[in-house]
Structure 1
Amino acid sequence: MSYIDWIILFGTLLSIVAYGVYKTRGKQDMEGYLTGGKTMNWWTIGLSIMATQASAITFLSTPGQAYEDGMQFLQFYLGLPIAMIILSVTFIPIFYRLKVYTAYEFLENRFDLKTRTLTALLFLIQRGLAAGITIYAPSIILSTILGWNLTFTNVLIGLLVIIYTVSGGTKAVSVTQKQQMAVMMGGMILAGFLVIQYLPIGFGEALHVAGKMGKLDTIDFNFNISDRYNFWSGITGALFLFLSYFGTDQSQVQRYLGGKSLTESRLGLLMNGLLKIPMQFIILFIGAMVFVFYQYYQPPVFFNKVQTEKLIESDLAPEYTRLESAYGEVFEAKKADIQVMIAAIKAEDEVKVNQIKEKLQSYQASQEQIRDEVKELVLQNDPNAETRDTDYVFMRFVMDHLPKGLIGLLFAVIFSAAMSSSASELNALGSTTTVDLYRRSIKKTASDGHYVKSSKWFTFLWGSFAILFATYASLFENLIQAVNLLGSLFYGAILGIFLVAFYMKWIGGRAVFIAALISEALILMLHWFNGEDLGKYSYNIGFLWYNAIGCILVMLIAALIQSVSKAHILKQ
């Protein structure tokens, strides 16, 4: 990168950290540190909620996912507006009436201490690991692209977040997220505008190319339980995920518990429900336009430049050069036929269009076969290399084609997104550890100042753990899917506990506690054997369904245990 890019990158990051520390300076009490003194207006809450969910993985992985699979990932968010309405009507009023610091305090009032502690621990395990992934995911890509040491990148992101999160608590997280959202969406929209400007064809023609090549397919109504992203998984499995994430995950609950009033918190959640889908559409659409761009300008045969440079310097260089040349030949043939297809579209010759579509699919298959062979070479040269390179698509485009200054801004987007989501996670981890474990079960009587200091220390320790986990983590598949999978393994059971608490008043703490343990064990077993060849019992379930399955299991098993216990008591 140029000097101007480095100045923009570090100038943006340091100003955000300084702003967060400055705005929250001074002595704080428990309520001020954990809820921001309940001074947040609805649009601050809404932006904070969106920034918490929009991690760096969103901006790194989502365009690459659209490049590879099209825009069907948008279906993942179809249940979000419904979830926001349900939460605004049910969950939020209860939290406000009880004046809780965390969502899990409510569970002790409804059930008992052990259920509250179990749910808090499930959250801490899931979110503690997720915080590490939130740091690791952008770090592994940024360190590769920038040539930085991975550990240094992890530590840099983690320390920047720890500084202002420990200093200012919830308010520092919320006020900095406004600036981070402005940087993130401003940078992405500008990048999207430039992608379209760089295309050698008109915008309408670009839409035709993307559409005919399957990159604008958004809604799939075919019911397939093994498919991660379709209409039905988005409106059911993802609905359960969002209910649990926004209703029971302290990293989100803490965002709206700081609202000036119940109305402000509700409006903040509804703002997220209205704007999140358009935001995600924009990011996916940018990925689709990058795909069109690479139909006219030859893309790298493998997007991770570091790995291809290693190949060039190895004994496998001649084979790599041969494959790259073959890839270029297919690209040129495909490029010529795309022009023929555009002409056929203008002439409204559907027969010709369909013929060309079949040829383009054949070209695409040939290119993917060549890419697979290159990936095999990468593994031969470096057995530990990550061969899934779609997470590198967008930033490789940025580095290769965008002008000076904007490159630094786009890197600031990724770092800002990593900081915003990580800050919320560490803030929530520190708060939950303090309120639900330390203050409730370890040191029950201490001053307000003591618990504020404790929360700061726990936030720092969780931040250190996240950095440590990120340093030794290794992911599989697409980064954004890894985060959604981790949430799906735990969120179903947590949501089930809360739904029992809200709507099944006749069930007690012992029943729901046992049901949660059994359900979580079953979900982990379900995932462990998912896709395995077990003969006639083989199955393959998309992980979004874990949320619905886990939730329903808790409710059914709790009802069964309570009924059996009641029947046993009556017999006596």
Structure 2
Amino acid sequence: MISTIDGIIILVYILGMLAVGYFMGKDNETQEDYFLAGRSMPWLPIALSVAATMISANAFIGGPGWAYGSGLAPFMVNITVPLAIFFAFFASTPVIYQLKVTSVYQYMEYRLGPITRILTVLQFFINSLIQVSSMVFIPSLILQTITGWSLTVIVPLIVTAAIIYTITGGIKAVIWTDVIQTVIVWGGMFLAIFIALKRLDMGLFETLGQAKAAGKFHTLDFGFSLTNTNAFWASLIGGTVMWVRYFSFDQAQMQRVLTAKSMKGVKKSFLSSAFIMNIMYFLMLTVGLILWVFYGGKEFESSNQVMIGFILEEMPVGVVGLVIAGAFAAAMSSVDSILNSLTTVFIKDIYEKYFFKGKEGQSEASLKLTMTISAVFGVIIIFFVIIGFSGTVKSVLDVVGKYISYFSGPACGAFLLAMFTNKANDKGVATGFILGMIGTFFISTSLGTSWLWNPAIGAALSVAIGYIASMIFPATKKTEDIKQYTAQGMRAKLIAEGKTEEDGVSILPFSMDKYAIIALVFFVSQYILLALIQ
């Protein structure tokens, strides 16, 4: 059980998040304020928010445990993040940014039609509910071990707090609370490192030297394996497709970026998030290496127990509360972002399209209804976690998490066809999406491939089948009407209009500017660093 002081620290943290939500939301008057902060957010908070969503409590507690057993190899899953960011700069984001959409799935109807729009919306809902549930449930199990509280207390506490400040503050509250939560997570990591090294009475490099001598720094495995998730080719090919979908075509990420004041802000926030996200993840793995030396490599019941045991046994009163607040922070920063994005997609892609009947002069759903929908989604998440993920949930989560990869590839393939071909049409791409998802499932189960290969397999199948099917099904839109929604067409349109730069930054697709170059240099530098330390 945690001490009274630690409990007070956790309570103060949660109340602080609610206060931030309230003050951030006082000026919200319209949907654009609620969903996109009036497109006026500074770039640095956006970058921290994007990174915070991905560095969930699973990574905050589980990351050190993974490194304890596998060394730095799990970093390979994240290594292509800068390459995906480069793709976003170079091709996809300039198109979506210029259209001023609220939901990225609106783009799919502009370019293709309603069938592919609803398919990509459905995959987003399924993906998000599974993802957010795992981001809440596993940390809740961990917090249950640490605090002794029941899951029926912890889960509603995490989600309800996120619901309240997300409803009251909208996307501004999501972004600014993520900033605070990122700082808390960083603090938790550095406290763990400091305390472990102090107990060991060793320097950082001496400690890591012992881990290196034991082979914990081995990361670059060039063997072509379909089953090894952390291998070079799986991470380069499958990981790139996975992260391209995530950073270019996923509402949870694009919505934060679309709140930026300008394309310069978009590029700064995206590039910074890549650095923050990968450095944070690397540090979490480093904590695991230090703990491996600290515990002399002894075996634990599960990987999560490494960090949990260290928190409970080694950290002093007060610090425990701060670290647990960090776990809450990591969980809540994932919940708030996905909750806001679920609401956005439901309102823009389903409610306003199929059910909205506004009063005279009303073109969009009211802010009150929008906030109500957020609350409903929050309650769904609570019940989904407690009821649907009880008992032997952890193994179920592993299985269901793999299923996410079955449709993330086809979703990416659908967007690629829409953005980079003139031939793709609604029925053809929808056919490619569905058959690509089925094909990925059968290939994966037949060959036993790692889940990281599935996005690449699904994208390849969807692009090939979708393009062929588009030549069979008649097009419902004229070529001249859809060209402006492709990357090449948008580039030609902007050049013709004399709109090539904004705030000193290129807004053209296929433009190689300093931000794109820095992303590529960062991507390559990671391999060089891993090769040197290996």
TM-score class, shorter-chain normalisation, is: 0.7 to 0.9
> Stretches of 4+ moved more than 4 A in 1?
481-484
Structure 2 CA distance, aligned partners of 1:433 and 1:241? 23
Structure 2 CA distance, aligned partners of 1:445 and 1:478? 42
Structure 2 CA distance, aligned partners of 1:291 and 1:408? 23
Find the partner of 2:456 among 545, 548, 554: 548
Q: Is the 8 A contact 1:77 1:277 kept in 2?
A: yes
Which secondary structure state, in structure 1, belongs to the residue aligned with residue 243 of structure 2? helix
- Corresponding position of 2:497: none
Q: Is the 8 A contact 2:156 2:382 kept in 1?
A: yes
Q: Shift in Å at residue 60 of structure 1?
A: 1.2
Which secondary structure state, in structure 1, belongs to the residue aligned with residue 160 of structure 2? helix
- Corresponding position of 1:68: 69
**1:523–1:475 Cα change, 3 Å:** farther
Using structure 2 for the length normalisation, give the TM-score: 0.84
Q: 1:95 corresponds to which letter in structure 2? A: I
Q: Report matched runs for 1:245-324 at 5 Å.
A: 245-295=246-296, 302-303=300-301
Find the partner of 2:438 among 521, 528, 545: 521
String of CA shifts for 1:391-427, please: whole Å, max 9, x gaps.
2210211110111111111000000010001100010
- Number of aligned residue pairs: give it: 469
Q: Is the 8 A contact 1:61 1:478 kept in 2?
A: no
Percent sequence identity over aligned pairs: 32
Structure 2 CA distance, aligned partners of 1:216 and 1:394? 20
Structure 1 CA distance, aligned partners of 2:66 and 2:53? 21
- Corresponding position of 2:376: 461
Q: Shift in Å at residue 448 of structure 1?
A: 5.9
Structure 1 CA distance, aligned partners of 2:395 and 2:268? 36
Q: Shift in Å at residue 202 of structure 1?
A: 4.3
1:130 maps onto 2:131 in alignment: yes
Q: 1:546 corresponds to which letter in structure 2? A: N
Structure 2 CA distance, aligned partners of 1:134 and 1:250? 17
String of CA shifts for 1:302-333, please: whole Å, max 9, x gaps.
45xxxxxxxxxxxxxxxxxxxxxxxxxxxxxx
Q: Shift in Å at residue 486 of structure 1?
A: 4.8
Structure 1 CA distance, aligned partners of 2:184 and 2:212? 30
String of CA shifts for 1:227-280, please: whole Å, max 9, x gaps.
011221221111111111111111111110101111101111111122322211
String of CA shifts for 1:501-543, please: whole Å, max 9, x gaps.
011111111100111111122233444xx2xxxxxxx522111
- Corresponding position of 1:144: 145
Query: Which range moves more in the overlay, 186-195 or 399-408?
Result: 186-195
Find the partner of 1:420 among 323, 329, 333: 333
Structure 1 CA distance, aligned partners of 2:218 and 2:80? 18
1:399 maps onto 2:312 in alignment: yes
Q: Report matched runs for 1:88-127 at 5 Å.
A: 88-127=89-128
Q: Shift in Å at residue 13 of structure 1?
A: 2.0
- Corresponding position of 1:381: none
String of CA shifts for 1:142-200, please: whole Å, max 9, x gaps.
11221111121111111001001111211110111111111111221121122122114
Structure 2 CA distance, aligned partners of 1:508 and 1:89? 24
Q: Is the 8 A contact 2:34 2:169 kept in 1?
A: yes
- Corresponding position of 2:508: none
Q: Is the 8 A contact 1:16 1:180 kept in 2?
A: no
- Corresponding position of 2:466: 558
- Corresponding position of 2:522: none
Query: Which range moves more in the overlay, 434-443 or 451-460?
Result: 451-460
Q: Shift in Å at residue 128 of structure 1?
A: 1.7
- Corresponding position of 1:434: 347
Structure 2 CA distance, aligned partners of 1:398 and 1:516? 45
**1:262–1:253 Cα change, 3 Å:** same
Q: Shift in Å at residue 41 of structure 1?
A: 1.2
Structure 1 CA distance, aligned partners of 2:403 and 2:376? 21
Structure 2 stretches of 5 or more lacking a match? 476-534
- Corresponding position of 2:245: 244
Q: Is the 8 A contact 1:439 1:451 kept in 2?
A: no
Query: Which range moves more in the overlay, 9-18 or 502-511?
Result: 9-18
Q: Is the 8 A contact 1:430 1:455 kept in 2?
A: yes
Which secondary structure state, in structure 1, belongs to the residue aligned with residue 128 of structure 2? helix
- Corresponding position of 2:222: 221
Q: Is the 8 A contact 1:391 1:478 kept in 2?
A: no
Q: Is the 8 A contact 1:92 1:266 kept in 2?
A: no
Find the partner of 1:409 among 319, 322, 325: 322
1:491 maps onto 2:408 in alignment: yes
Which secondary structure state, in structure 2, belongs to the residue aligned with residue 505 of structure 1? coil
Say which one has the larger Rg. 1
Using structure 1 for the length normalisation, give the TM-score: 0.79
- Corresponding position of 1:355: none
- Corresponding position of 1:309: none
- Corresponding position of 2:366: 451
- Corresponding position of 1:87: 88
- Corresponding position of 2:515: none
String of CA shifts for 1:5-30, please: whole Å, max 9, x gaps.
11222212211221122122144201
Which secondary structure state, in structure 2, belongs to the residue aligned with residue 259 of structure 1? coil
Q: Is the 8 A contact 2:51 2:273 kept in 1?
A: yes
Query: Which range moves more in the overlay, 169-178 or 410-419?
Result: 169-178
String of CA shifts for 1:480-506, please: whole Å, max 9, x gaps.
x67863542221111111000011111
Q: Shift in Å at residue 478 of structure 1?
A: 11
Structure 2 CA distance, aligned partners of 1:441 and 1:144? 45
Q: CA RMSD in A?
A: 2.0
Which secondary structure state, in structure 1, belongs to the residue aligned with residue 103 of structure 2? coil
Query: Which range moves more in the overlay, 196-205 or 163-172?
Result: 196-205
Q: Is the 8 A contact 2:428 2:472 kept in 1?
A: no
Q: Report matched runs for 1:1-20 at 5 Å.
A: 1-20=2-21
Q: Shift in Å at residue 566 of structure 1?
A: 6.8
